[in-house]
Amino acid sequence: MARAMFDYTKVVLSKVSFDPQLFCKELKKALKRLLPHEIEELRIWINSLIQQKPELNECLTLLKA
């Protein structure tokens, strides 16, 4: 079940990646419901996404908190 939440989170974040504010909002929600090891995986995934969409870089501060 937890893996399904992680996969769902990636789908949602992909779909809202056109808007940095919306992306940050959804990322905050995801950080509340994911497990610590999933957050680490998400951090890696987001870093690769940011290489394609540098405007999302401002959301990295949420992952460091």
CB 16 within 8 A of CB 26: yes
pTM of the model: 0.89
CA 51/CA 28 separation, integer angstroms: 20
Alpha-carbon torsion (22, 6, 48, 43), positive or negative:
positive
Determine the pLDDT at residue 2: 59
Half-sphere exposure of 63 (CA within 13 A, CB side): 18
pLDDT digits (tens, 9 = 90+) for 1-38: 658 999 999 999 999 999 999 999 999 999 999 999 99
**Encoded tokens for 26:** 């959804």
Residue predicted with more confidence, 63 or 29: 29
Distance between CA 60 and CA 50 in Å, rounded?
9
What pLDDT score does 38 carry?
A: 94
